[in-house]
Amino acid sequence: MQAPGGPLLSVDNVSLSFGGIAALKNVSMAAVEGKVTAIIGPNGAGKTTLFNAISGFYRPQSGAITFGGIDLLGRPMHARSGYGIARTFQNIALFSGMTVLENIKLGSHARLATNVFSASIYLGWADREERALTERIDRDVIDFLDLGAVRDHATAGLNYGVQKRVELARALALQPRLMMLDEPVAGMNPAEKLEMAGYIRRCVEERGMTVLLIDHDMETVLGMSHHVVVLNFGSVLAAGAPDDVRSDPGVIAAYLGDD
């Protein structure tokens, strides 16, 4: 168990190449417990590759990735959720015919103590567990993220910003230690971006979540993050508090100037 305020996730000297393309070159960074850490950088900088390496989709050729003291690179991809890592994806991945509540409950079912076999024997017990799950999600997730008005609506009819919030809700419902958010404000209008940034900050400030996110939108990201890591051509160009990154001449030259 790491110290409070220390790194929950550590990436140390990770390198990953696709054939001749070096997508990550000796990348080191950390996600600090109870904070929002953002990875930014222009197209092709290596953000998605880094996320996929942490998630276990890709295997780096060298380096280490540890989460709460566990060596993630030695573990299968599916083990990540059991360790407390939840992830959202760049493109909305909701079941459009299902309601908001049903979408949020998906995934949380895997954590119920009753499995399909025992449920067939102890139907009453499974029923109680299911009701307890719904109550918890209503209270801790749907109310918390102001989704009560659309709880029983099919996600297909919801506007884009609300659909992205349902994805955040689904990750939060897993009660993870780390939420990895892949472009959480991409494609949103300015009002939706601000609103989403507020919800992400609330997850951290009121629920003690640790968030690691990637996004293109510099200003929104700098406004909602405690720590920022800037990638450029697969290497860490700068890392620090948003104000330090914003005023870093190398970052201005490489990114902010042409954003």
Which residues form the interface with ligand ATP (CB under 6 A)?
Answer: 18, 21, 23, 41, 43-49
In one-letter notation, the amino acid at residue 95 is F
Q: Which is nearer to ligand ATP, 83 or 233 (CB)?
A: 233
Q: Which is nearer to ligand ATP, 46 or 60 (CB)?
A: 46
What is the closest distance, in whole angstroms, from the C-beta atom of residue 46 to ligand ATP in the complex?
Answer: 4
CA distance 88 to 258: 28
43 vs 116 by CB, closer to ligand ATP: 43
The pair phi, psi for residue 197, each rounded to 5°, is -60, -40
Q: Which is nearer to ligand ATP, 47 or 170 (CB)?
A: 47
To ligand ATP, the closest distance from the beta carbon of 58 in angstroms equals 8
Q: How far is the CB of 16 from ligand ATP (least distance, A)?
A: 8
In the bound state with ligand ATP, the residue whose beta carbon lies nearer, of 26 and 108, is 26
At its nearest, how many Å lie between ligand ATP and the CB of residue 22?
8
Shortest Cβ distance from residue 56 to ligand ATP (Å)?
15
CB of 19 to ligand ATP, least distance (A): 7
State which amino acid sits at residue 165: R
Sign of CA dihedral 24, 46, 44, 235: negative
Find where tokens 């508090």 sit.
Answer: 241
Nearest CB to ligand ATP, comparing residues 40 and 203: 40
